[in-house]
Each structure stands twice: as structure tokens, then as C-alpha cells.
A and B are shown apart, each in its own frame.
Chain A
């Protein structure tokens, strides 16, 4: 677990064992008007076949660094105030949360744009792999 505070805002990145449990939302500041949460949930089918779950593996030092870099880049380029990313490692059963991203911002448009770019960046550049169980 690690967090990184920048002058532009706040970044928190964690890679955790198994499904991601419920947790409190990040604190909002007086200027925040939007808290956007995205959860990725393991579907019950993969390529049309029923599965037990997905197993995630990561090159963790690089995954952590890449996620922090993506989040920091968003804080530097968009009017948002914080980014939290939590990703699973290991088995996540069907229905479990494997990814949770939270963005806070003064306004929804910046939060939505940041979330889109965050997830695109994760799926393109962050060394995490899943396999079916």
C-alpha cells in the first residue's frame, strides 16, 4: 500500500488480496462537488462459458508506479482533486469487485473525463494480467 500527495491533489494506489471490500469514500474538500466511483466486477461468464472467478497477477512495483503516474498526470491536467485506485491480486470470485477507482472534483465533467482516462490508461499500460479459473 502506498499513497502520494502532490501539490495538485492527492493520489492513493493500492493492490490488495482478493475481492475488494467496502470502504469509506475519500474525504471531500469544500471545493468538491463530485465524487465518482467506478467498480469493475467479475462477470460469471468468459467467452460464453461459466467461470468460478478471475485470478489477477501483477508486476507489482511497476503496476504501482504506473498507476501513480497515470493518476498524477490526471491531477496535473484536469480540474480534479483526488484519485484513488484499488486493484485486486489473486482470485476474485464471480460477483466480486476487482477494481475500484474513485475520483473527486469540483465538477462532474472533469471527474468523468478523468475516470475514462484512468481506466483506459490502466487497461493499456499497467502490468496486471488476469486468467480464468
Chain B
């Protein structure tokens, strides 16, 4: 399935885009998202190990199932305040 992953901050700057579309297998889990992003966007390869995956506006556990229609995002180091 194809899923859109939102990018912010440093990740968006490196990718030159605010989202990337990735291909995930049926039954994919949150831990599959980062490798899929690296495949889809080589500019991010090797630089997103520390980045957390959010699913539907909440941080996702690695074993959390990803479904069609989920809103996914990569959340790098935040700097609010």
C-alpha cells in the first residue's frame, strides 16, 4: 500500500519536501516506516535513526500496525518553547 508520510523541521529541509509517499507491505508496522522513507527519499538515508514515527497524531510503538488512511509523520528533534 502507498502511504503519505509528513515531514517537518530538519527532515523536511533535507528532503526538500513536506511529505514523501512510501510503499509499505500489507501488515506493515510503525518500525517499517523509517526504512521505507529512506528508500523513497535517499536524501534522508542514514539521518533519521533518531526520528520518531507518529501515527494519527500520536507517537507510535514500533509494533503498531499501519493501516490504509493513517496519517503518518516523522518527528525529529523538536525545539518549541
Residue of B nearest to A128 (CB): B80
Shortest distance between the CB of B30 and any CB in chain A (Å): 15
User: How far apart sit A124 and B81, CA to CA, in the bound complex (Å)?
Assistant: 10
Given A59-B6, A61-B57, A129-B9, also A40-B75 (CB < 8 A): no
Mask, B11-40, CB within 8 Å of A = 1, is: 000000000000000000000000000000
* B78 lies within 8 A of A126 (CB): yes
User: How far apart sit A63 and B38, CA to CA, in the bound complex (Å)?
Assistant: 25
Whether a CB of chain B sits under 8 angstroms from the CB of A8 is no
User: How far apart sit A71 and B59, CA to CA, in the bound complex (Å)?
Assistant: 17
* A99 lies within 8 A of B79 (CB): no
Mask, A28-61, CB within 8 Å of B = 1, is: 0000000000001000000000000000111101
* B8 lies within 8 A of A127 (CB): yes
Whether a CB of chain A sits under 8 angstroms from the CB of B66 is no
* A122 lies within 8 A of B81 (CB): yes
User: How far apart sit A99 and B75, CA to CA, in the bound complex (Å)?
Assistant: 20
* B54 lies within 8 A of A62 (CB): yes
Mask, A107-133, CB within 8 Å of B = 1, is: 000000000000100111111111000
* A124 lies within 8 A of B58 (CB): no
Shortest distance between the CB of B61 and any CB in chain A (Å): 15
Whether a CB of chain A sits under 8 angstroms from the CB of B73 is yes
Task: Write the residues of chain B forming the contact surface with A, with a CB cutoff of 8 angstroms.
Answer: 6, 8-9, 54, 57-59, 73, 75, 78-81
**Interchain residue pairs with CB less than 8 A apart (25):** A40-B81, A57-B8, A57-B9, A58-B80, A59-B6, A59-B8, A61-B57, A62-B75, A65-B58, A87-B81, A98-B81, A99-B81, A119-B81, A122-B80, A124-B78, A125-B78, A127-B73, A127-B75, A127-B78, A127-B80, A128-B78, A128-B80, A129-B8, A129-B79, A130-B80
